Amino acid sequence: MGETISSQYASAYRRRVHPYFNVLGVLVFASVLAMVLAQAQSQRLESLLYYGRWIPLGLLTTYSVGQWAMALRWQEAAIRPLRGVDGWALSWILLLYASTVYSVAPETTLMIATTFFLGYSAVFWGVWKYADQFGEERVLKLLLAIFLLVLVASWGSWVGGLGRPLSPQFVGTRSGGLIISSRFQGVLENPNSLGLVSALVVPMLLGYALKRRKAYIYVMLGVSIITLLYTGNRSGIGASTVACGYILWKGGKSKKGLVAFVLLVLLVAGYGLRGQVEALILRTDTLDTASQRTFIWEAFFEYIRNRPLLGHGWGTEDLLHDYYGSDVMEIHHTRIALAASAYIGYAAQVGLLGAAMVFFPLLWLAGRVALIPRGYQFRAHVLNSVLIAGLITATVSSWMSSLGNAQSLFFWIPVMLLVRRRVRARTQRREQGAEASPRTS
């Protein structure tokens, strides 16, 4: 049989429209960039994008629905059918909305649940559609282009002495202490923001370097590794190391040149950090309490015991200390209001059931893809390395509790691409099985 009407339309569309300079591509780019800029140091940008960052996601959702409606009118398969992943995502989002009934802050729960609905519909429908039209390679290049802009702006601000590219690292009490090092934060408001984004991108770049071996990829990889180390984000460094080890394990080819390059980058970074490794990265004075996270975890364990099944309502993570009248922040002189762990934070907000609904499928997906043999489906392993890095950093960070941070779409878009790969492979196997089976009249 020849091409269907929909496949002919898609092929013609790809030839006629540039993958970046079209409505869908612009909206995908703007959605990711808005999340990053919302965490820039500029107060003007922060105030403008506090609500404005959700506009591109909303437009991306609206555009996808519009394409779906047009496809129905012209009887073309221009958008994908509902899949099992949609049932999983929508069930969980419905749980978020249902938690407004018993939430300690119903308005907050309703608002933040809506942002997750926007994120799901934009990523799993809008970006999915973009990947169908132009390929997942274009999606990843968009992410890397935005990260490159952040790198250039961050190091440019450091070289030019503009803004506050360095964040002082103190030792002692909140009221005073000695500055012993400075963590690199670039143009973002927090070194952890730049560190977590870098932790997700470094294994992706390592995968590209392993297969492409282009000079510009090596340069970007080297600068990204140095950036990650200079942010002093320990969870990001550890997670990225594990993810990169996974990539090297699954690469299936000779990696001597790439390993030598990475070692050279580490030597250069070590020279730049000479005398500051313990103060900037190890920070041995805070290791025993994980930077005072253990005190926060003890408090949140008590909150979870009070409402173990359903939690306190989505989006209430930073409100629970006040709700219970806890003075843990004052006693232990910490600025951490969140649970400092996505796993604990989810359990506190939507209960153990809600947390299990999210993390069990993600952990299963990571393990299932990891079982693919070395040398096969390498792109799937690259995407899986991002998932692995995100799940590791989530153990000591609450960034996954929000879609409004710089690293959220750098995580969820690769996860979506990984799910899309599995859905397409399953569909292809089903179609091949149908063609191979005997036809009956």
Q: What's the pLDDT score for residue 438?
A: 56
Strands, E assignment, 132-275: 166-173, 176-184
Helix (H) or strand (E) holding 181: strand 176-184
pLDDT of 413 strictly over 90:
yes
Torsions phi, psi of 169, nearest 5?
A: -105, 120
Percent with pLDDT over 70 in the chain: 85
Matching residue, tokens 């025993």? 288
Higher pLDDT, 270 or 231: 231
Which residues sit opposite 169 in a β-bridge? 181
The DSSP secondary-structure symbol of 21 reads S
pLDDT of 29 strictly over 50:
yes
Q: Is 252 exposed, middle or buried (0-12, 13-18, 19+ CB in 10 A)?
A: middle
Calpha distance 314→96 (Å, rounded)? 6
pLDDT of 2 strictly over 50:
no
Kindly indicate the confidence band of residue 17, based on its pLDDT and cuts at 50, 70 and 90. low
Average pLDDT, the chain: 86
Kindly indicate the confidence band of residue 104, based on its pLDDT and cuts at 50, 70 and 90. very high
DSSP string across 80-94: PPP-HHHHHHHHHHH
Quick: pLDDT tens for 52-88. 999 999 999 898 877 777 766 655 555 677 788 999 9
Q: How many CB atoms lie within 10 A of CB 235?
A: 21
Task: Identify the CA nearest to 291 among candidates 200, 396, 407.
Answer: 396
Q: What's the pLDDT score for residue 178?
A: 58
Beta carbons of 200 and 389 less than 8 angstroms apart:
yes
Q: What's the pLDDT score for residue 355?
A: 96
Higher pLDDT, 71 or 297: 297
Quick: pLDDT tens for 190-223. 999 999 999 999 999 999 999 888 899 999 999 9
Kindly indicate the confidence band of residue 3, based on its pLDDT and cuts at 50, 70 and 90. very low
pLDDT of 420 strictly over 80:
yes
Among 78-82, 341-345, 421-425, 435-439, the range scoring the smallest mean pLDDT is: 435-439
Kindly indicate the confidence band of residue 161, based on its pLDDT and cuts at 50, 70 and 90. confident
Q: What's the pLDDT score for residue 441?
A: 39
pLDDT of 15 strictly over 60:
no
**Residue 222, SS3 per DSSP:** helix
Helix (H) or strand (E) holding 168: strand 166-173
Among 178-182, 184-188, 249-253, the range scoring the smallest mean pLDDT is: 178-182
**Tokens found for residue 80:** 């994908």
**Residue 173, SS3 per DSSP:** strand
Q: What's the pLDDT score for residue 74?
A: 59
**Tokens found for residue 411:** 């995580």
Is the sign of the CA dihedral 16, 20, 21, 23 positive or negative? positive
Beta carbons of 235 and 393 less than 8 angstroms apart:
yes
What distance lies between CA 191 and its chain's CA centroid? 16
Q: What's the pLDDT score for residue 6?
A: 44
Beta carbons of 419 and 386 less than 8 angstroms apart:
no
Q: What's the pLDDT score for residue 327?
A: 80
Among 171-180, 332-341, 362-371, the range scoring the smallest mean pLDDT is: 171-180
**Tokens found for residue 29:** 């780019």
Higher pLDDT, 421 or 293: 421
Among 161-170, 315-324, 414-423, the range scoring the smallest mean pLDDT is: 161-170
pLDDT of 320 strictly over 60:
yes
pTM of structure = 0.90
DSSP string across 44-74: HHHHHHHHHTHHHHHHHHHHHHHHHHHHHHH
Task: Identify the CA nearest to 196 among candidates 237, 245, 155, 150.
Answer: 237
Task: Identify the CA nearest to 219 among candidates 188, 262, 162, 173.
Answer: 262
Calpha distance 22→20 (Å, rounded)? 6
**CA triplet 346, 31, 356: central angle to 5 degrees?**
20
